[in-house]
Amino acid sequence: MADFVSGFWNWYIIVLVVLSILFCWWLVITQSKKGQMSGEVKPTGHVWDENIQEMNNPLPRWWLMMFYITLAFGSIYLALYPGLGTFQGLLGWSETGQYDREMQKAEEAYGPIFNKFANQDLAAVAANPEAQKIGKRLFSTYCTQCHGSDARGARGYPNLTDNDWLYGGEPETIKTTIMEGRNGMMPAWGEIIGNEGVFNVAAYVQSLSGRDVDPVVAAKGKEIFATTCAACHGADAKGTQAMGAPNLTDKIWLHGGSDKRIKETITKGRQSHMPAHGEFLGEAKVHLLAAYVYSLSHQKKE
């Protein structure tokens, strides 16, 4: 627990704190002795402007009580809770212990609700309004920072509400994506095919989604595509879900579809990381999330 390398600082803190508290006790007690409290008020001997005297008035009782209460509170607190160096306190309380207990309580309260759906078919869970509500809440907590609160994503973060999938939109595939995470790896081609190669193949890629490009340039790009890109994106450029290689013939772009962005993607490559959530959230929650994500692109069916 302690970050100290040597025990010295531990004792330094303990001794300093204990001595300060004892000193405060002593000070308050000696300054509030009966004699001083009840006796007649004596001058301190300090005089200003010839006749203004400083008197040694006792502290008001309520004020004194405040000192005692604060000191008692501090002493008891330090005995029960961590505060004196690395001393853990008599209660053995710790932040992590409290966190663990709260998590366990939450698990007991909500676990059965999550587990109720864990054995149901994903498509059935996706159609269940109660599961939808839970899934939506889980999504807001764990996924919106990347995929957006409406799940429509952003540049580099896929839209989950359309029916275009990098890795596949079957309920089980979505669940695998969330459980295990994904790493999309588009290699950098700039140095291999050169500027001209990038220029040509970028034109070809754009022709695939129906853009007007120079047909001669695109034809040259097509040759490069067949030898260099088809292995991952497929001969028809419709993508390979096993690798997360996107379909290049549609108008949906993960990394931006402008001429500049496409050339940049091809030259420098792209790497995307979807974190694994299985261990972090547990399968029951991922099950609900997968059903929720699935429902986002299948809502219109009913």
Can you give the binding site for ligand HEC, defined by CB under 6 A? 142-143, 145-147, 156-158, 160, 165-167, 174, 177-178, 182-187, 189, 201, 205, 228-229, 231-233, 243-246, 248, 253-255, 262, 265-266, 270, 272-275, 277, 289, 293
Question: Whose Cβ is closer to ligand HEC: residue 54's or residue 223's?
Answer: 223
CA 52 to chain centre: 65
84 or 285, CB closer to ligand HEC? 285
- Given the complex with ligand HEC, which of 122 and 274 has the nearer CB atom? 274
Residue found by looking up tokens 């260099």 in the block: 228
When computed from its CA atoms, the radius of gyration of the chain, rounded to whole angstroms, is 35
C-beta of residue 297 within 8 angstroms of C-beta of residue 209: no
User: Minimum CB separation from ligand HEC for residue 213, in Å?
Assistant: 13
Give the integer Cα–Cα distance in Å for 92 and 86: 12
Query: Whose Cβ is closer to ligand HEC: residue 98's or residue 163's?
Result: 163
Distance CA 84, CA 86 (A): 6
Minimum distance, C-beta of residue 211 to ligand HEC, in the bound complex (Å)? 13
Report the nearest approach of ligand HEC to the CB of residue 296 (Å): 9
CB of 64 or CB of 146, closer to ligand HEC: 146
Cβ closest to ligand HEC, residue 84 vs residue 286: 286
Task: Compare residues 86 and 120 and give the one whose CB is closer to ligand HEC.
Answer: 120
Give the count of beta carbons closer than 10 Å to the beta carbon of residue 153: 16
Integer Cα distance of 239 and 247 in angstroms: 4
Burial class (CB in 10 A: 0-12, 13-18, 19+), 81: middle
Q: What is the amino acid identity at position 93? A: W
Output the smallest distance, CB 106 to ligand HEC, in A. 18
Which residues does 114 contact at the CB level (< 8 Å), separation at least 6? 134, 282, 284, 285, 287, 288
Question: Could you tell me the smallest distance in angstroms from the CB atom of residue 214 to ligand HEC?
Answer: 16
Report the alpha-carbon distance of residue 153 to residue 171 in Å, rounded: 19
For ligand HEC, the closer CB: 116 or 270: 270
Structure tokens at 183: 């790493």
Closest CA to 233 of 210, 215, 260, 254: 254
In angstroms, rounded to a whole number, what is the distance separating the alpha carbons of residues 256 and 246?
Answer: 12
Beta carbons within 8 Å of 274's beta carbon, 6+ residues apart: 177, 181, 182, 183, 184
Tell me the closest approach of the beta carbon of residue 130 to ligand HEC, in angstroms: 18
